[in-house]
Amino acid sequence: MLGGGGVDGAIHRAAGPALLEACRQVPEVRSGVRCPTGEARITPGGELPAKWVIHTVGPVYHSPERSAPLLEAAYRNSLELANQQGLKRVAFPAISCGVFGYPLGEAAEIAVRTAKAEAGGLEEVAFMLFDQKTLDVWLQAAKAAGLQEEGSSGSGGGEL
């Protein structure tokens, strides 16, 4: 939540110092932890076009039995917060698929299945993906779940 690397760092750089200040206002649940793995928190979006940022922590991948429930919880709790806040749209990265080592196929299936089941009143759940390989895997998961992509971009990743 405090602007480390990866997606978190990119969001913080784009949002400016107001997001960092909002994150610092989120109480610690234990020393140094504001958002435990699988949980979600919401803050104002700072200078982002989005009014809100939902923060979640996905698991470091160990095994499907150990990691899958935590990844599903990260998506589910984020969607629940979006619905509680009355949001209409939410966008996710491929949670835990970078340095946390989650296999793309397993992560995509969990992400798409959870979004389909837990979208609630949201009009749109988008996945903003880093590269073409990740996009292709998510598109396969969406197809397997009986979903149709709204739009995708060719080279360099895209949106599902």
Annotated catalytic sites, by residue?
8
**What is the number of alpha carbons within 13 Å of residue 13 lying toward its C-beta?**
7
Specify the 3-state DSSP secondary structure of 65.
helix
Token pair for 133 = 């390989």
The neighbour count for residue 34, using CB atoms within 10 Å, is: 18
Residue labelled with tokens 């619905």: 83
Residue type, 128: M
Of all helices (H) and strands (E), which one includes residue 7?
A: helix 6-15
Q: Which of 86, 137, 81 is nearest to 112 (CA)?
A: 137
Gap between the Cα atoms of 145 and 140, Å rounded: 9
